Amino acid sequence: MVPKPDDDYDYLFKVVLIGDSGVGKSNLLSRFTRNEFSLESKSTIGVEFATRSIQVDGKTIKAQIWDTAGQERYRAITSAYYRGAVGALLVYDITKQTTFENVERWLKELRDHADANIVIMLVGNKSDLRHLRSVQTEDSKAFCEREGLSFIETSALEATNVEQAFQRILTEIYHIVSKKALASEDGPSAAPSSGTAIKVTEAAPDAKKKQSCCSGA
Amino acid sequence: MSSDGGFPGVRGLFKGRGFPGTVKFSRKGASPSEGEEQQQQQQPPRHVDPRDPVAAGIAGLSVESRPMESISSTSAPPPSAASSRGARPSSGSSAGDASRRTSSADEGGGGAGGGGGGAQQQGGAEQQDGVEVTQLRSMSSTRVAKFMRLLDEQVVDLEALRELSWSGIPPSLRPMCWRLLLGYLPPNRERRMQILTRKRREYRDLVPDYYEQAASGLDQSGEELGALRQVAVDVPRTAPGVAFFHDPQVQKSLERILYIWGLRHPASGYVQGINDLVTPFMCTFMGEHMQGPLEGWSLDGLPESQLLDVEADCYWCLCKLLDGIQDHYTYAQPGIQRCVFHTQELIRRVEEPLAAHLEAEGLQFIQFAFRWVNCLLLREVPFPLAIRLWDTYLSEGSQLKDFLGYTLAAFLLSWSSQLQQLEFQELIMFLQKPPTADWCEKDIELVLSRAYMWRASFKGASSHFS
């Protein structure tokens, strides 16, 4: 079978989108993968999937993104998708304080169910609604510094920073992965002790075929 | 603001602004003013009928007094019926008239709502009649007569009604049949009106007890606040393709129904997707008070008491439907997991190559079928077909839980050979948005009859699936 261009990638990273209901996770995903925004989209039930490839340092990174339902009831189902994820975009709504307050609970979810080395980025969405802002950028920044997370504010509606958010988290994951791959080339003693290493790097970085780091594929 | 569709302030920002990529408005009429114009065109001035045709129908009164012609005219309306459709009689009308109006409104509901599907656009009466004729294949006059005979009985034979309704209910009789099938109304016609009045009053008493307290911000626990917030987030996202559901009054109704249901069913509480499950009820019961296609429905002039009656009927019918599947929505949603497993086992038995292919690709049934069960396939088919699905679901009654697995399996097999050509990623993209936009009633009926056959042949072997 002739491989389709879409199949051609150097790395496959599984990323999850999590956060409270109605913060705009699905629209961030559709903006990133299809450049679409829907003003009246239905709620996500369970989990939805989309994918897109980007270039980092001349390598093709394919992101397999799982968008999850925000309601607490669904966590038993959605947390199964955290397994094998190397990145998580934890989204809140800058106009709704409670969605920011709940970030801690989402972090706990990740600690309980995801890989310990998962890269987490906090995303304050709906930055276009300036006049309704209730979560200050400084507060989020301070929180992220304390927790060791990256942070960005986005507007899926205006397509502000959406590309950057995904680009940054995927680049960060890529750097960790390639660093670890490099380290393992140096010899067995260097690799496993490294604190930043993540488990998902079994695949050699240059193999031009499917190297799944995800349980799903 | 509900008219913002849950995105406060966003709509105002759209004026004269450009946004990158595609910004989708799912509703017809991209700008609010355009939408209003459209509505005005479609909606003739409403004169409120002082008599309540719905109540009369429920009491079983109009059923026997309905002239047969007026019912059969719904499948092939004579010119006079078609031309009179636009205007609503302003004063008391005969029961026959009432039933005709009701039925035409209902068919509108049945043929409309293709916002997502877009297959059946209804602009003028001509088009609408065309839809009726094609849609009512199963609604031959003999079939309608059979329904009438059953409903005319002093005590309706529910088993016979289930059997008949399973293959589709004539739109004009749907509200009545659903109420009976769900056990919301008793088979004995003498007691119907009394019970209906009581249940509607009971619901009205629930509103201040449960909803108004919470909505006023007094006296509620954090959990209740959370539930209210969740409902408020989901209501504007309910049936986004159907303009009617964006009416602030309809949204308020939905909000009350869902919030009160959640509070009174603490084992599960409100779960996302239950909002979808109310929509067939809302359209069917509201259809008794509306005319013309769903796109043109307006609540202007509808007395609040009638709206509350519709709301009450929706609430109690939702309760009845969910009573049978409550473990779909309790912690970890075991009912859904069982149903998905059942579906998978069925595919293994009836279409082994597909099962093998999905497994080889690493696709788990839960990854695509979870939502299918959670919303009873409502999100996977065009809205009018969802109403048709409901006919069968409600006829199944307590067997629905078991029947769902067969239905899902049959639905999946609609694309068996296609699916076997796809790989993991293509599979999941395909199955999370199955191509049913141009499906018509016979497609969904094929799925249902396959499901029926399999259940018949697997009966007795069900222990393998548990």
Q: Which domains does chain B have, with CATH numbers?
A: 8-18+330-465 (1.10.472.80), 66-181 (no CATH), 210-323 (1.10.8)
Q: What is the pLDDT of residue B18?
A: 72
Whether residue A164 contacts residue A152, with contact meaning beta carbons closer than 8 Å, is answered with yes
Q: How confident is the model at residue A197 (pLDDT cuts 50, 70, 90)?
A: very low
Q: What is the pLDDT of residue B25?
A: 64
Residue range B198-213, pLDDT digits in tens = 999 999 999 988 887 7
Chain A contact for B332 (CB, 8 A cutoff): yes
Would the pLDDT of A208 be above 80?
A: no
- Write down the mean pLDDT value for chain B: 78
**Cross-chain residue pair A49–B367, CB shorter than 8 Å:** yes
- Pick from A72-76, B103-107, B377-381: least confident: B103-107
Looking at residue A155, the DSSP 8-state letter turns out to be B
Q: Pick A163 or A213 by higher pLDDT.
A: A163
| Residues in chain B within 8 Å Cβ distance of A34 | 21-22
| Residues in chain A within 8 Å Cβ distance of B375 | 45
Residue range B409-463, pLDDT digits in tens = 999 999 999 999 999 999 999 999 999 999 999 999 999 999 999 999 987 655 5
Shortest Cα–Cα distance, B117 to chain A (Å): 15
- Pick from A28-37, B134-143, B253-262: least confident: B134-143
Q: What is the pLDDT of residue A8?
A: 87
**Cross-chain residue pair A77–B366, CB shorter than 8 Å:** yes
Residue range B211-255, pLDDT digits in tens = 877 777 655 677 788 889 999 999 999 999 888 999 999 999 999
Q: Pick B81 or B280 by higher pLDDT.
A: B280
ipTM above 0.90, yes or no: no
Would the pLDDT of B20 be above 90?
A: no
Looking at residues A80-108, what average pLDDT do you find? 97
| Residues in chain A within 8 Å Cβ distance of B9 | 129, 131-132
Looking at residues A158-168, what average pLDDT do you find? 98
**Cross-chain residue pair A45–B236, CB shorter than 8 Å:** no
Interface of A with B (CB under 8 A): 21-22, 31, 34-51, 64, 69, 71, 73-74, 76-77, 95, 98, 128-129, 131-132, 157-159, 215-217
Helix (H, G, I), strand (E, B) or coil at B43: coil
Would the pLDDT of B50 be above 50?
A: no
Of A43, A158, A216, which is closest to B237 when you measure between CB atoms? A43
Instruction: List, as own/partner pairs, every contact residues B349-356 make where C-beta atoms lie below 8 angstroms and the sequence separation is at least 24, other chains included.
Output: B349/B458, B350/B409, B350/B413, B350/B454, B351/B413, B351/B416, B353/B420, B354/B412, B354/B413, B354/B416, B354/B419, B354/B420
% of chain B exceeding 70 in pLDDT: 69
Are β-strands B22-24 and A36-38 bridged in parallel, bridged antiparallel, or unpaired? parallel
Both tokens assigned to B349: 């038995």
Would the pLDDT of A198 be above 60?
A: no
Rounded Cα gap, residues B13 and A207, in angstroms = 48
**Cross-chain residue pair B370–A40, CB shorter than 8 Å:** no
Compute φ and ψ for B448, nearest 5 degrees: -65, -40
Would the pLDDT of B103 be above 90?
A: no
Of A74, A157, A215, which is closest to B10 when you measure between CB atoms? A157
Rounded Cα gap, residues A144 and A124, in angstroms = 12
Of B6, B329, B331, which is closest to A22 when you measure between CB atoms? B6
- Pick from A89-93, A95-99, B29-33, B310-314: least confident: B29-33
Q: What is the pLDDT of residue A55?
A: 96
Chain A contact for B367 (CB, 8 A cutoff): yes
Which among A5, A52, A65, A14 is positioned nearest to A208, based on CA atoms?
A5
Q: How confident is the model at residue B139 (pLDDT cuts 50, 70, 90)?
A: low
Q: What is the pLDDT of residue B75?
A: 36
Residue B29: which region, alpha, beta or left (left: phi > 0; alpha: psi -120 to 50)?
left
Looking at residues A57-65, what average pLDDT do you find? 96
| Residues in chain A within 8 Å Cβ distance of B269 | 73
Q: What is the pLDDT of residue B26?
A: 53
Looking at residues A154-168, what average pLDDT do you find? 98
**Cross-chain residue pair B23–A35, CB shorter than 8 Å:** no
Of A36, A77, A217, which is closest to B424 when you measure between CB atoms? A217
Would the pLDDT of A206 be above 60?
A: no
Whether residue A120 contacts residue A91, with contact meaning beta carbons closer than 8 Å, is answered with no
Q: What is the pLDDT of residue B405?
A: 98
Of B10, B272, B370, which is closest to A43 when you measure between CB atoms? B272
Q: Pick B136 or B198 by higher pLDDT.
A: B198
Rounded Cα gap, residues B458 and B455, in angstroms = 5
Shortest Cα–Cα distance, A16 to chain B (Å): 14
Compute φ and ψ for A52, nearest 5 degrees: -160, 150
Would the pLDDT of B316 be above 70?
A: yes
- Pick from A1-5, A18-22, B36-40, B231-235: least confident: B36-40
pTM strictly above 0.90: no
Chain A contact for B22 (CB, 8 A cutoff): yes
Both tokens assigned to A34: 């299809």
Q: How confident is the model at residue B41 (pLDDT cuts 50, 70, 90)?
A: very low
| Residues in chain B within 8 Å Cβ distance of A42 | 237-238, 240, 276, 379
Q: What is the pLDDT of residue A82?
A: 96
Looking at residues B280-309, what average pLDDT do you find? 93
Chain A contact for B272 (CB, 8 A cutoff): yes
- Pick from A72-86, A95-109, B90-104: least confident: B90-104
Chain A contact for B160 (CB, 8 A cutoff): no
Of B5, B370, B424, which is closest to A40 when you measure between CB atoms? B5
Q: What is the pLDDT of residue A185?
A: 64
Residue range B51-88, pLDDT digits in tens = 454 555 555 444 433 333 333 333 333 333 333 333 33
